[in-house]
Amino acid sequence: MNKNTKRWFYWLPRVLSIAFALFISIFALDVFGEGYSFWETLLALFMHLIPTFILVAVIAIAWRWERVGAALFLALALIYLSMTDGRMLTIPIPLIIFSLLFLVSWRVTLQPR
C-alpha cells in the first residue's frame, strides 16, 4: 500500500467523525428560539451539547488509540440503538462506519512501510 493511501485511511475517519460531531451540534441551536432567559438558554445549550461532548471525547481517544476508539464508536452506536429500539438509524449507522474506518486505519498503520 502506498503512502498516499495510508494517509487517506488515516485522515478519513478523523475528518468524517469531526464533521459528524459538528452536524450533531447543530441540533443544539434550537434552544435559542425558546424564549428562555440568558442563564436558562446557557443551561439548555449545555444540555443539548452533551452528545457532542461525548463524541469529541471519543474522537480524541480514537485519534491516539484507534482500536479503543473503534470499540467506543461501536459502543455508542449500540447504546443509541438500544435506546431507540432500532427505529432511528441516522445516528448509529455513521458511528458504525467510523468504527470500521478507525479499525481500517489501525490495520493500515500496522503494516510495514
- Domain spans, the chain: 3-110
C-alpha cell, 50:
452533551
Question: Which pLDDT score is estimated for 83?
Answer: 95
C-alpha cell, 17:
467523525
Question: Which pLDDT score is estimated for 112?
Answer: 60
pLDDT at 98 over 90: yes
Stretch 93-107: mean pLDDT: 97
Question: For the whole model, what pTM was predicted?
Answer: 0.90
Q: What is the pLDDT of residues 8-66, one digit of tens each?
A: 999 999 999 999 999 999 999 999 888 889 999 999 999 999 999 999 999 999 999 99
Stretch 2-13: mean pLDDT: 91
Beta carbons within 8 Å of 101's beta carbon, 6+ residues apart: 9, 12, 13, 16
